[in-house]
Structure 1
């Protein structure tokens, strides 16, 4: 007997909910070798866009796995080693005019600076070897269709891309589900202020920010939905040998056009990312972590994440998620981020910076 597929349903994802029987049809788009051989990959030429999945709805993407290798990626022939910023993941829902996901591949899966490293969170993971197995478990429902594409902005090298896009399809769509979105941003460098004759403590710890106007913007969206977190990357550009902590920036989230001070006003960079006391250690938990802690004295490249899975930030008209770059926005580091959120369509369209503007600085 064939079971009729229903809608998305009100199922949880805990172990306790697994015995509850559901009605849906599972599907997968993957890079398996159609000849029956073992060449289970897609070869992506420089400048090429490859369609990874085209699914007719209603349905939901439930999991994405992928890994990528660059031709001649090792040794003296290695070029374009920053390919995780040159490859772009693009997802469009319901045949919309504008994509809802447009993010460099490595950043989307949780780590910035075109780097990978082993880490575990609830929605995103980079798995061995050396974090090169990328996983996403954000649920991504849609009403009419989903298009998943990979864009290569490499100029000289082809890449070998292996992937699964797992999904479910249903007989009907639920009208109370938001569409998954992800956007990449960067300020390189953020507009800071010179230290001058001030001491390190005076420059990094003193001053007043009573507007949030010059904060780094993680997300600026219109519509109804909820913000569910971010990946946040810092490249410490200070050449000082003194105490050189990059944080102390308060998070400020403005909901539905509210004036300053916002209802959600935090106390410091490490506090928003649920750590404490100027951390310099790698750490990963289900909803927060430090994947790249930087070198001694917080130099070099840092990457952190915070996911609002149990505490999504709800908005009805608009949301502006910001954070200071150093207390009172005094630091001028290279900052980039990915914001993740759900909202109604249509959304405010957004673009992705050109490839030269995305490339990471060398360590």
Structure 2
């Protein structure tokens, strides 16, 4: 046994393993290295036989809505990289982002022979994109990288990474479920290791689930936060707390991200975190405030550290905050059950919009069936400008001719562009099968 210690001690020991990768690379040898995930469809990114472990997931995506005919040929442009759609030049192409597609799609992961997934989370929220609003941040298990010109936009394209190890004994199945009316493009690399020997019986499997209360059931949202009337109300048993995780089984909780849209206009972060371990009536782990649970104080600051931090600060948005806390060195362990809760305001007096993604490890089978809210209940609450009536002036003959020409181009361009989407969707379906076949080939060679 190695006597080397430290955070990277694993790198100093030779292990018998074989690397593999599921990816969106163009298996025709061309440069269309992404998949078009069809609308209203589930696509398997790949299925891998075990024993093995997913070591890293990287993805980038974009969902575009065609709004007008481009001056580019839709067929020849379809063979180019999709940079024109992701950051279109003015006057060349008009594709607008679907601002909420990060919540309309789901990431779904199923381990071994289970008939229920262990990961079922809105695509963006899994990678800590709260409210479909990406923000640059770097933590130990998750990273998001956003182009500066895309900052401050719902649905903005970015790259995301996850480094949580995800072991499996028999198989791993990774899917994207697109519940949108639109397709979206997805680049991905999913790196994994294969082993010859089965995993230990006490192996804990990665899990993740998403919850939302919109709004939380507050008893005094009209009473100012930190007022004596609020602060003198007691809440010993966590009645009415927001639930981050409620699970049965044996394992350990390793953290969450939390998105809060605050409506009162004062301060949302006075609620205590309360952990109920193995069926406790009273929590054995009590916190001192939501900002304190996320390792901040006196409010939330604009920083992002390996284990905790702010991804998006409420002062930079239309009133919502995205924060994270990862229990990498201090996991919360449970043998029978665990309930992770936080007060929404002291003693749950506030009625804000809370949503969260929990991450934990436990032995199989998954203790509680993981479900997710329907798509219409996942969408963010955002300010909406009132409709403005527009008056159309009398058109000149040139104006009439311009509109007629535009309509004619749209009649030709629209169907041609949509046909290219269908071609790329079929490519994704084919390469989904090829990914699993290639993973099986690697597995058969390494036994």
TM-score over 0.5 for the pair: yes
Distance in 2, matches of 1:32 and 1:199, equals: 52
Structure exhibiting the larger radius of gyration computed from Cα positions: 2
Residue matched to 2:105: 87
Partner SS, residue 103 of structure 1: strand
How far the C-alpha of 1:274 sits from its partner, in A, is: 0.5
Give 5+ residue unaligned stretches, structure 2.
Answer: 66-84, 89-93, 149-156, 384-447
Contact 2:134 2:146 in 1 (8 A): no
So what's the TM-score if we normalise by structure 1? 0.90
Partner SS, residue 27 of structure 1: strand
Distance in 2, matches of 1:12 and 1:163, equals: 33
Distance in 1, matches of 2:25 and 2:64, equals: 19
Contact 1:186 1:337 in 2 (8 A): yes
Contact 1:195 1:203 in 2 (8 A): no
Residue matched to 1:108: 126
Distance in 1, matches of 2:222 and 2:276, equals: 32
Question: CA deviation digits over 1:194-231, x for unaligned, max 9?
Answer: 35577862355342112201100000000000000000
Question: CA deviation digits over 1:92-122, x for unaligned, max 9?
Answer: 0003110000001111011210111110000
Contact 1:85 1:358 in 2 (8 A): yes
Moved over 6 A (4+): 9-13, 73-76, 197-200
Matches within 5 A, 1:15-30: 15-30=8-23
Distance in 1, matches of 2:145 and 2:376, equals: 28
Distance in 2, matches of 1:120 and 1:289, equals: 9
**Aligned match of 2:306 in 263, 271, 286?**
286
How far the C-alpha of 1:15 sits from its partner, in A, is: 3.4
**Aligned match of 2:39 in 25, 34, 46?**
46
Give 5+ residue unaligned stretches, structure 1.
Answer: 1-8
When residues 344 and 10 of structure 1 are mapped into structure 2, their CA distance, relative to the original with a 3 A threshold, is: farther
When residues 355 and 10 of structure 1 are mapped into structure 2, their CA distance, relative to the original with a 3 A threshold, is: farther
How far the C-alpha of 1:14 sits from its partner, in A, is: 3.2
**Aligned match of 1:61 in 38, 54, 60?**
54
How far the C-alpha of 1:263 sits from its partner, in A, is: 1.5
**C-alpha root-mean-square deviation of aligned residues, in Å?**
2.2
Question: CA deviation digits over 1:45-73, x for unaligned, max 9?
Answer: 11111111200001000000000011347
Distance in 2, matches of 1:216 and 1:265, equals: 14
When residues 190 and 145 of structure 1 are mapped into structure 2, their CA distance, relative to the original with a 3 A threshold, is: same
When residues 299 and 70 of structure 1 are mapped into structure 2, their CA distance, relative to the original with a 3 A threshold, is: closer
Distance in 2, matches of 1:71 and 1:268, equals: 40
Matches within 5 A, 1:214-293: 214-238=240-264, 240=265, 244-260=266-282, 262-279=283-300, 281-293=301-313
When residues 198 and 354 of structure 1 are mapped into structure 2, their CA distance, relative to the original with a 3 A threshold, is: closer
Residue matched to 2:190: 165
Segment drifting more, 165-174 vs 85-94: 165-174
**Aligned match of 2:210 in 184, 187, 191?**
184
Distance in 1, matches of 2:202 and 2:167, equals: 11
Matches within 5 A, 1:135-146: 135-146=161-172
Is the strand fraction higher in 1 or 2?
A: 1
**Aligned match of 2:331 in 302, 312, 316?**
312
**Aligned match of 2:26 in 33, 37, 44?**
33
Residue matched to 2:353: 334
Contact 2:225 2:268 in 1 (8 A): no
Distance in 1, matches of 2:227 and 2:218, equals: 16
Contact 2:221 2:350 in 1 (8 A): no
Distance in 1, matches of 2:141 and 2:250, equals: 22
Question: CA deviation digits over 1:261-298, x for unaligned, max 9?
Answer: x211111001100010112x3211110011111027x9
Aligned length: 347
Distance in 1, matches of 2:249 and 2:226, equals: 42
How far the C-alpha of 1:128 sits from its partner, in A, is: 3.6
Contact 2:304 2:310 in 1 (8 A): yes
When residues 121 and 196 of structure 1 are mapped into structure 2, their CA distance, relative to the original with a 3 A threshold, is: closer
Residue matched to 2:227: 201
When residues 199 and 342 of structure 1 are mapped into structure 2, their CA distance, relative to the original with a 3 A threshold, is: closer
How far the C-alpha of 1:77 sits from its partner, in A, is: 4.7
